[in-house]
């Protein structure tokens, strides 16, 4: 299976993968089912319109058009909406002014407009739909109108030149990956927005429990504050200056692509409390060398550490139950993993595989696993013909040696004790013989003393 297909599956974002190639496919414009019921279609060379309920919706823009404004009227009817995909891949548009007659902008409306540097959004819109400006790789700044309450998933994904964003006062929701892969973003103005706070280079929600986006100027050691529970998808993606990451015990979930492409990140200090690492969370963290997961961890998602080419150690603790597809794919320095018995599911190509230039899987012949008999680890090793050793068999052998050594030591201790006791406590017969010897010596001494009569006593006689 090709690399592009695998990464697309792991990222769960097929449109994004296509954007990177610069060849977005066209999506069908709104079809006119019945002109008498839906309205009539109109084309002026640059735009195709559809009349709906007395106003026009722009359904398609000619991709070769060079223009700077969206018209307000056509044939006496106001233009009030831009449909899904309407300006998709219009690569000649550099600046665009969208009039206030427009009240809605559809999903992927400007996706892949790779020359778009500046856009003026209408004041009446209330939502930026999914992928609205996805892949606008030259867009440098954007002022989001005050009435916008929702920024959809992937809304500004891969806007790699986007430096500054001003959040509107009524904003209450930011979708997954909304600012992911924005490799130049350094400033987010949240001064008018009560729902979000930009502090010390990190965008939080008001209670500081979720992180949505970090400035790519963050460098060196980064400490996540204790209140944080969830790191949103894409939050730290492409923070290439960060070298060390310290997570508090409050963090339970790390979202999809949260730290992808942090190419200088060498160390991660995980803390007890973390339960889930989402797909591609640390994809292409190419400087990362070792991982020591906490015992609270349950799931390592698909492609979580895909392409971590310097990774040489991963300690997976008892408690982990699921390891996703390609979780440690293309980690050529990772040559051994001890698989705990708690792991019940290991998806294809999780360990022991690299990718060749064509994106094909290549088994690493030097990769080894330590597994338990009858475990998912054993099954994975056998299925993929990987070298493995058995932890439980080794434990039994070591246990026997330990027990034998313990018994031998106990016997030696017992012998020493008995010998010491023998020296301190002589037998009754020995005690009696010693007593008789002492009595005999004492009697003989008395006799000797009686024979030695003093000379003065003899003279008296």
pLDDT at 16 over 50: no
pLDDT tens digits, residue range 159-189?
A: 999 999 999 999 999 999 999 999 999 999 9
Across 179-189, b (16+ Cβ under 10 Å) vs e yields bbbbbebeebe
Q: Sheet containing 141-143: which strands, arranged edge to edge?
A: 141-143, 164-166, 187-189
Give Cβ neighbours of residue 352 (< 8 Å, ≥ 6 apart). 363, 364, 367, 369, 384, 386
Nearest to 369 by CA among 309, 328, 401: 328
Structural domain includes residue 71: yes
The answer to whether 18 and 50 have CB atoms below 8 angstroms apart is no
In a domain, 420, yes or no: no
Residue 206 confidence (pLDDT) above 70: yes
Grade residue 409 by pLDDT with cuts at 50, 70 and 90.
confident
Domain span at 73: 13-199
Q: What is the CATH number of the domain that holds 26?
A: 3.80.10.10
DSSP for 248-283, please give it. Answer: -TT--EE-TTTTTT-TT--EEE--TT--EE-TTTTT
What pLDDT, on the 0 to 100 scale, is given for residue 37?
42
CA 349 to chain centre: 18
Task: Specify the pLDDT at position 369.
Answer: 96
Distance of CA 282 to the CA centre of its chain: 5
Residue 314 CA to residue 369 CA, distance in Å, equals: 12
> What's the pLDDT band for 420 if we cut at 50, 70, 90?
low
Given a cut of 90, whether residue 403 has pLDDT beyond it is no
Token match 């200090």: residue?
A: 269
Is 45 a member of any domain? yes
Cβ atoms within 10 Å, residue 336: 16
Confidence of residue 321 (pLDDT cuts 50, 70, 90): very high
Instruction: Name residue 348's beta-bridge partners.
Output: none
| pLDDT of 407 above 80 | no
SS3 421: helix
Q: Which residue has the higher pLDDT, 97 or 10?
A: 97
Q: Quote the pTM value.
A: 0.78
Tokens found for residue 424: 């301190």
Strand, coil or helix: 41? strand
Report the domain count for the chain: 1
**Is the confidence at residue 397, as pLDDT, over 60?**
no
- Tens of pLDDT, residues 27-86: 333 333 333 345 578 999 899 999 999 999 999 999 999 999 999 999 999 999 999 999
- Residue 98: name the closest of 75, 76, 126, 79 by CA: 79
In a domain, 1, yes or no: no
Please report the pLDDT score of residue 117 as a whole number.
96
What is the average pLDDT value for the chain, to the nearest integer?
Answer: 86
Residue 214 has pLDDT above 80, yes or no: yes
Tokens of 30: 């709104």
- What tokens were used for 178? 């909304």
367 in a structural domain:
no
Whether 49 is in a domain gets the answer: yes
Helix (H), strand (E) at residue 43: strand 41-43
Confirm whether 403 is domain-assigned. no
Alpha-helical regions (H) of 119-187: none
Distance CA 195, CA 205 (A): 6
Domain assignment of residue 156, yes or no = yes
Structural tokens at position 374: 């009858």
Tokens (6 digits) for 346: 């290991």
Tally the C-alpha atoms within 13 A of residue 100's C-alpha that lie toward its C-beta: 5
């Amino acid at each position: 299976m090709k690399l592009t297909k695998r990464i697309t599956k792991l990222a769960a974002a097929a449109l994004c993968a296509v954007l990177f190639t610069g060849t977005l496919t066209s999506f069908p414009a709104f079809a006119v089912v019945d002109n008498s019921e839906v309205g009539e279609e109109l084309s002026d060379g640059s735009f195709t319109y559809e009349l709906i309920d007395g106003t026009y919706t722009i359904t398609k823009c000619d991709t070769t058009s060079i223009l700077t404004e969206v018209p307000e009227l056509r044939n006496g009817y106001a233009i009030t909406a831009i449909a899904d995909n309407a300006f998709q891949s219009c690569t000649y548009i550099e600046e665009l002014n969208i009039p206030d007659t427009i009240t809605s902008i559809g999903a992927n409306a400007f996706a892949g407009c790779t020359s778009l540097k500046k856009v003026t959004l209408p004041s009446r819109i209330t939502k930026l739909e999914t992928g609205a400006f996805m892949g606008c790789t030259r867009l440098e700044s954007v002022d989001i109108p005050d009435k916008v309450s929702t920024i959809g998933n992937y809304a500004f994904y891969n806007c790699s030149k986007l430096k500054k964003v001003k959040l509107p006062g009524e904003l209450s929701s930011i979708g997954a990956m909304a600012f992911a892969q924005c490799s130049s973003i350094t400033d987010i103005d949240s001064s008018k927005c009560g729902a979000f706070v930009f502090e010390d280079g990190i965008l939080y929600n008001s209670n500081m429990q979720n992180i949505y986006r970090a400035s790519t100027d963050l460098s060196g050691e980064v400490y996540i504050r204790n209140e944080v529970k969830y790191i949103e998808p894409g939050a730290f993606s492409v923070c290439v200056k960060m070298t060390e990451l310290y997570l508090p015990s409050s963090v339970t979930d790390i979202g999809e692509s949260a730290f992808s492409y942090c190419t200088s990140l060498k160390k991660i200090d995980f803390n007890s409390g973390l339960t889930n690492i989402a797909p591609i969370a640390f994809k292409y963290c190419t400087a990362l060398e070792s991982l020591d997961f906490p015992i609270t961890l349950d799931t390592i998602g698909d492609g979580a550490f895909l392409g971590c080419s310097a990774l040489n150690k991963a300690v997976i603790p008892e408690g982990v139950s699921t390891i996703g597809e390609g979780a440690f794919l293309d980690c050529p320095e990772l040559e051994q993993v001890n698989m705990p018995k708690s792991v019940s599911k290991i998806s294809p190509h999780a360990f022991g595989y690299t990718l060749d230039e064509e994106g094909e899987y290549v088994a690493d012949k030097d990769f080894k696993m330590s597994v338990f008999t009858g475990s998912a680890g054993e099954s994975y090793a056998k299925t993929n013909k990987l070298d493995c050793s058995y932890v439980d068999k080794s434990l039994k052998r070591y246990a026997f040696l330990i027990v034998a050594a313990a018994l031998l030591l106990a016997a030696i201790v017992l012998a020493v004790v008995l010998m010491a006791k023998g020296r301190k406590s002589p037998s009754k017969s020995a005690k009696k013989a010693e007593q008789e010897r002492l009595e005999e010596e004492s009697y003989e001494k008395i006799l000797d003393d009686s024979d030695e009569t003093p000379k003065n006593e003899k003279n008296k006689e």
